[in-house]
Amino acid sequence: MNIAVDAMGGDYAPQAAVLGAIEAALELGIKVTLVGSGDVIQKELASHPSAGCVSIFHCSEKIQMDEAPLKALRQKKDSSIMVAFDLVKRGDADAVVSAGNSGATLASAVLALGKIEGVERPAIAGVFPVESGYVLLMDVGANVDCRPTHLFQFGAMAHVFAESCLGMKNPSIGLLSIGEEGAKGNELVRLARLLLEQSRMNFIGNVEGRDIFAGDVSIIICDGFVGNVALKLSEGMAEAMTGWLKSELKNSLAGKAALLLGRRSFENFKRKLNYEEYGGAPLLGINGVGIICHGKSSASAIKNAIRLAVQYVNNRLMDNMVRQLPLWLKNQQAMGGHNN
C-alpha cells in the first residue's frame, strides 16, 4: 500500500503534509510518497528523526489555492497534484490525498484516471458528524450548476460508497429541499426527485436543512453550490457557537468553575465538531481513490485522511464502484433520465 500525498497543497503546506505523512506511515505501517519540490520536502524532513519512513517524488510546480483549475493544469504540466494522480495511474500509488485547490484535484483525477463508466460528473462527498455516526452530503463543491440527472448520479455514487466503505446496508437517501412535499423546492430538485423515485435505491423523499444534523437519513443529495454553503456554514457555526459558549461561561465565577470542571466534556464536544477528526472528503466517480482535505488541514487531519485512503483502498472502493455503479446508472438511463 502506497499513498501519494500532495506535499504542496493546503494552507499549511508543506509542513502539515510532511508531518501528517510521517505520522501516518509510522502508525499505519504503510508507504507514503510525498509529491512536490524535492528541496522543499527534504528541508522539512531534515528536522524529523523518522524522516526515513516516507519517500519523495520530485516535481517542479505547484498550483495555488486561488488559481483557476483547468488553466493552471494546462500551464503547469508538472504540478504536484497532477503528478500524484499520475503515480496512481502508473500503478505506483494506490490513492491520493490533497489539501490543495479542490477544483484542480478533481480535474487532475479526471485527467489522469478518467471517470467511471456512465458517470457524468464526479463529485465530493462531505462527511458530517451526527449523534449516531455520520451523514454523507453530496456534492459539497465540485459541481455548482447541476442538471437533475447529476443529482441522481450523486445518489448512486453515495449509495455504493456508503455500502463499500461506511458499512451501511441499503442506506437511506434524502433529497435536500425546502419542504417535504414533492411539489416543494426549486426546479432542479423537483425534476431530480422524479428520477430518484423511480430508482431502486432507498430514496425517502425530500429532507430539509435541519435534517442534516438530525441523523435520520444516511445520505443527503444536493448540488455542489448548496452543499458547499451548508458545509462552510456548519464549520462557521460550530466555531462561533463554541466561542459564544466559552465567553458566556467566562462571564461569571460559576461559569468559570463549570468550564474547568467540564473541561474533558468540552474537549470531546469540540472534537466531535472538528472536521479534522474525519480527515477528508472522498472524491467519487473517478477510476481511483482520492481524498480532498480541508485547505486548513493540520498534520493530524492529513494523517486521518491518509488513514481513510488506506481504508477505502482496503474496502476495494474503486472495484465496487466500477462493478456496481454502471448497474445503477443503466437503470436510470433506461428510464430516459440521461436526457435530463
Residues of the shown chain interacting with a copy of itself in the complex, contacts defined by CB under 8 A: 66, 68, 130-131, 141, 144-145, 176-178, 181, 183, 185-187, 189, 208-215, 222-226, 228-241, 243-245, 247-249, 251-252, 254-255, 257-266, 268-269, 272-273
CB of 37 to a copy of itself, least distance (A): 26
Our measurement of the distance from residue 131's CA atom to the centroid of its chain's CA atoms, rounded to an integer in Å, reads 20
CB of 210 to a copy of itself, least distance (A): 3
Nearer to a copy of itself, 36 or 141 (CB): 141
3-state SS class at 134:
strand
CB of 120 to a copy of itself, least distance (A): 17
CB of 137 to a copy of itself, least distance (A): 10
| 41, 18 Cβ separation under 8 angstroms | yes
3-state SS class at 180:
coil
CB of 78 to a copy of itself, least distance (A): 25
| 37, 30 Cβ separation under 8 angstroms | no
Nearer to a copy of itself, 92 or 239 (CB): 239
DSSP assignment of 205-252: EEE-GGGGTT-S-SEEE--HHHHHHHHHHHHHHHHHHHHHHHHHHTTS
Nearer to a copy of itself, 120 or 163 (CB): 120
Nearer to a copy of itself, 169 or 210 (CB): 210
Nearer to a copy of itself, 49 or 145 (CB): 145
**157's torsion region: left (phi>0), alpha (psi -120 to 50) or beta?**
alpha
CA distance 151 to 115: 16
Nearer to a copy of itself, 209 or 326 (CB): 209
Nearer to a copy of itself, 38 or 209 (CB): 209
DSSP assignment of 51-74: GGGSEEEE-SB---TTS-HHHHHH
Show the cell assigned to 126: 462531505
Nearer to a copy of itself, 9 or 36 (CB): 9
CB of 33 to a copy of itself, least distance (A): 29
Q: Return the bridge partners of 57, or none.
A: 35
CA distance 24 to 9: 17
CB of 294 to a copy of itself, least distance (A): 11
CB of 97 to a copy of itself, least distance (A): 22
CA distance 55 to 45: 10
CA distance 190 to 324: 26
